[in-house]
Structure 1
């Protein structure tokens, strides 16, 4: 009997993704600090230390501007795939089966991992109903939090730029109504949905052997779902 996989093997995907995230975030911090210090140095201001930069509107705005678009993309994708289908895409649920076929995504006993169901399922009632939609709810909350921090950071950065130009700062409400703020958001939102559209459509015709995001290599183009 084979033993349980090691910690690294059980969590390899999450650990590698987390490591890549940290590396790229560190790169953003260091290059962002250098870029902002170059800009304020041209106005005769003292450069910011690393800790001061992490509290600056430049860093907060840039970071959460990107995070909000990612959480919006993932939340909308999770929600839209409940109802919508794309023939041939590995990213779509299959269409309704013929009457004699088992319904898709109704797991049979042999398909379920051994062990107790999550506690909200065992509790039942309202807890089960909330848990049944908890993934979308989590992405919605992450999006709203990131959107709020993007707005706050963008406002601070906008006022920092105005001060460098010798202009008076603006109120938060005024900045949130400005075209500059919404341009920052829309330029990221559109790119995220383009990326999702790309994998939905490309997975109809292209394959990556052994990836759960791809259909099997021998699968016909019309096969829907991985």
Structure 2
């Protein structure tokens, strides 16, 4: 029970993710088969659909926009500030900060991760590991979207008796960028809303909000 309580936030999001993904698969299958029947083709089974490029591209294009959002937020908050937002550092604290404040090198303590006491490449990798992994996930999901999207796009073209396109032609096409940018703009708007609204609005008990009584100008303060 203690393990469940201490990991309840991650577990809750994992369960909601799996339910949403399953729901997307079922709804997507129904929509896909509706088109198949309308075109006089055979409907697909559930496992055929979730293994198809049509399902893969819908999943991957959402994943890459989410990882782009977090990658940009992680990296930009190193150097940029927003007065009054709990999502920002105080003005004048821009940058990677001192070793003492980051508790690395000779300032590491007994419970610090081993690589926080390292030097050179190992310390650099660990110091930037969150941004590197988020950026890596974005690149991989972007590639997955482009490959699955090309396959799905070519399937539609072949059904219309048109020639398939190469991967390079697809990733420079309006089809690809329309799918990508409609997701990117929504994620960037959500981050902008969080950064700005958290200046003036509160959620009691949430670490993503300032304390209810904190001034609007208080920056980098979390409840």
| TM-score, scaled relative to structure 2 | 0.89
Matched, 1:161 2:121: no
Q: CA deviation at 1:170?
A: 1.9
Separation of aligned partners in 2, 1:96 and 1:165: 59
Whether 1:27 and 2:1 are equivalent positions in the alignment is no
Deviates more, 1:61-70 or 1:174-183: 174-183
**Higher mean Cα deviation, 136-145 or 114-123?**
114-123
Q: Indicate the larger mover: 164-173 or 123-132.
A: 164-173
| 1:142 and 2:170 correspond | no
Tell me, yes or no, if the aligned pair for 1:56 and 1:156 is still in contact at 8 Å. Answer: no
What residue in structure 2 maps to residue 50 of structure 1?
46
Deviation at 1:222, TM superposition (A): 0.4
How far 1:52 moved relative to its partner? 1.3
Q: Structure 2 regions of 5+ residues with no counterpart?
A: 104-108
Structure 1 segments of 4+ aligned residues over 6 angstroms from their partners: none
TM-score by length of 1: 0.88
Q: In structure 1, what is the Cα distance between the partners aligned to 2:88 and 2:166?
A: 45
Is structure 2 residue 175 aligned with structure 1 residue 180? Answer: yes
> How many residue pairs are counted as aligned between the two chains?
213
Write the distance in 2 (CA, Å) between the matches of 1:73 and 1:186.
Answer: 12
The structural deviation recorded for 1:118 is: 1.2
Q: Distance in 1 between matches of 2:14 and 2:76?
A: 27
Q: Counterparts of 1:55-70 in structure 2 under 5 Å?
A: 55-70=51-66
Which is worse superposed, 181-190 or 162-171?
162-171
Partner of residue 223 from structure 1, selected from 207, 218, 222: 218
